[in-house]
Amino acid sequence: MKQSLLIIFGLLTSAYAFSQQKCDSTNLQVDKIQLQSFWTAFKNAINQKDKVKLASLVRFPFTCDYCILDTNRQKNQLYIKVTRATFDRSQYQIFFADRLVKEANKHNLPQDFFIFQPHFNTVDKKCTYSFQYIARDENAQHPGMQHWFDIQKVNGQFKIVSAWTLP
């Protein structure tokens, strides 16, 4: 009986592990050209402060835990869902932060693919890439802060699907 349960548990564990998409550097090689196109369009949009071009690189609604406080966020919410309307009204501004623009312009693809960290998104069940920049330097009074953007393939093109911060 124990052996049968152990075999069943092993088979279920194997099926679960192999059913998840592998997200590692091999995915980067497969997605290289599309990531390069995304990065070029992203840099152009933020350098030109073009919210229309930027909106074309976003899947709406997207979640954001550091977006600008407005009437759409209640004090006890951990994040807001940014719709196209709230993006157009104010939330697009998070993409025009001087530090983000400066960091994005430091990197050119394909040689800088290391800026993308692949991981499996267990909510969407998809491979997701993250890139980050330092939003606030560490000092004696503050531990510093990093802003992250997650991107995924949506209908064959990469789109920003969330924005979050650490710590």
Question: 49-93 pLDDT, tens per residue?
Answer: 999 999 999 999 999 998 875 555 556 678 889 999 999 999 999
Identify residue 26 by its one-letter amino acid code: T
Higher pLDDT, 28 or 124: 124
User: For domain 23-166, which architecture applies?
Assistant: Roll (3.10)
What single-letter DSSP state applies at residue 4? H
The domain spans of the chain are: 23-166
pLDDT category at 17 given cuts 50, 70, 90 is very low
Q: CA-to-CA distance for 6 and 36, rounded, in angstroms?
A: 46
Arithmetic mean of pLDDT, 103-114:
90
Q: CA-to-CA distance for 153 and 127, rounded, in angstroms?
A: 8
What single-letter DSSP state applies at residue 71? T
Residue 79 has φ and ψ, to the nearest 5°, of -155, 170
Residue closest to 160 by CA, chosen among 87, 23, 55, 84? 55
Please state whether the predicted TM-score (pTM) of the whole model is above 0.85: no
Residue closest to 127 by CA, chosen among 137, 116, 135? 116
Longest CA span, the chain: 67
